[in-house]
Amino acid sequence: MSERLTVTELNTRVKELFSATPGLNGIWVIGEISNFKMYTSGHCYFTIKDSSSEIRAVMFKSARSRIDFDPKDSMKIEAYGHLDMYVERGSYQFIVESMKKSGIGDLFLKYEELKKKLEAEGLFKQERKRPLPQYPKTIGVVTSPTGAVIHDILTTTKRLYPADILLAPAQVQGEGAAQSIVNGIRLLNSVGVDVIIVGRGGGSLEDLWAFNEEPVVRAIVASEVPVISSVGHETDFTLADFAADMRAPTPTAAAQFAVRDKAEIFRQLDDFRIRSNKALSAVTDRMRARFNTAEAKLSPKRALERLEYLGMRIDELSLKMVSAVNSKVSGMRSRFAAAEKRPELALKASISRRRSESASLFTRVDPGMKAILTKQEHRESNLSARLDALNPYSVLDRGYSFVAGPDGRAVTSVRGLAVGSQITVRMRDGRIQADITDKEEYHE
């Protein structure tokens, strides 16, 4: 005799059957979402379908809170859960306990395959990587015109170094993104920039996908201009990153790779200044040493010419500065001219007069100019100290004498001086005529 059941009993029996059947519990259902609705309760109701069938599904609030994306219509998903009977309606539905977007696994597979292939071609090799220019005139950027990437690059480069920025706006995710990035790289190559930064901000693997596509990787490889990549977060490695000449973990870092910090360049310039000053004083030290030896060509006339000439050079140096400084230089020149006539007191007076003249000049010029003048003054006092060292009379002061032959010219060798001829010996405070009574030539 057949059993007689109420509807409720029947549906309850089906419900129990479902829960007792292993193949209907703890399973993954693969399909596409449609008719997605979330109620104010936080529960979600939707249909999961494939090309030829569909099933109603429920995801309760607690399950919804465990997934990290927003399910929506036409999204391909894999839902984990169990089959349940809604007894009151006599319909069954799939209770979703967890859900993930499908296709991610496929993407990983694609990524690995393409990576292997391009790696085998040698596109990611270290020796392919080109050095970045240190002082680019123009930095090309391929990214979205509205993202954080261009913002970070603009603010960072502004702070570091005055390079021009040329942005090739690109679509960095979704359909057509790869082509858009490729076009940007080509465009910047065609107009001639010095380095290219290509990138986008953080996102899911799908968001970053364009940077794993073969055309983008090949465009980076083909770029004649070195490329810095900055894709996603520090932990994301796209194939574009492997192909780039430099991979930056963030857009700010990309900007830092692209240029040198001008504060550091200024330090280097200052180092150059110190070194060239040092080198120049080494030269004058050598000169002084030469003049201090008795073999020096101590023709006062030539030395004076030389001083005049150096004075001219100083004039040239000062020309760009101010005429006030020039007058000081010409003062120096007249001081050397006076030195030839040997009025030492007058010389000293002249020097101190010049000094006070220029000192009063300094107080009249405005502070900015004064700074320049002080620098220039400092340089000239160095030069004037060096000129002092060249002054033949400072040598005479130290006990050397100057010997002139019968023709009045400086004598630097005993050759050509015969016993019996006359020479003039000039000392600090006067001169004597002397007869040569003996002669001996040293042979080395």
Partner 1 sequence: MSEEKQTKIDVENMTFEESITRLEELVKKLEQENLDLDESLRIYEDAVALREHCRKILDESERKVQSIMETANGLKKEDFRELE
Which residues of the chain form contacts with partner 1 (CB under 8 A)?
Answer: 133-135, 137, 145-146, 150-151, 154, 157-158, 161-169, 183, 187-188, 191, 262, 265-266, 268-269, 272-273, 275-276, 278-280, 282-284, 287, 310, 313, 316-317
Answer whether 422's CB lies under 8 Å from 436's CB: yes
| Tokens 């010095």 -> residue | 194
Helix (H, G, I), strand (E, B) or coil at 269: helix
Whole-number minimum distance, CB 366 to partner 1, in Å? 20
Q: Which is nearer to partner 1, 188 or 404 (CB)?
A: 188
Whole-number minimum distance, CB 166 to partner 1, in Å? 5
Please name which of 158, 69, 117, 213 lies closest in space to residue 231, comparing C-alpha atoms: 213
The CB density around residue 79, as the number of other CB atoms within 10 Å, is: 26
Helix (H, G, I), strand (E, B) or coil at 422: strand
Whole-number minimum distance, CB 281 to partner 1, in Å? 10
Q: Which is nearer to partner 1, 112 or 316 (CB)?
A: 316
DSSP string for 340-391: HH--HHHHHHHHHHHHHHHHHHHHHS-HHHHHHHHHHHHHHHHHHHHHHHH-
Whole-number minimum distance, CB 265 to partner 1, in Å? 6
Whole-number minimum distance, CB 402 to partner 1, in Å? 22
Q: Which is nearer to partner 1, 125 or 159 (CB)?
A: 159
Whole-number minimum distance, CB 284 to partner 1, in Å? 7
Please name which of 44, 45, 101, 34 lies closest in space to residue 74, comparing C-alpha atoms: 34
Q: Which residues contact 200 (CB under 8 A, 6 or more apart)?
A: 143, 144, 147, 149, 172, 173, 207, 208, 211, 231, 232
The CB density around residue 141, as the number of other CB atoms within 10 Å, is: 30
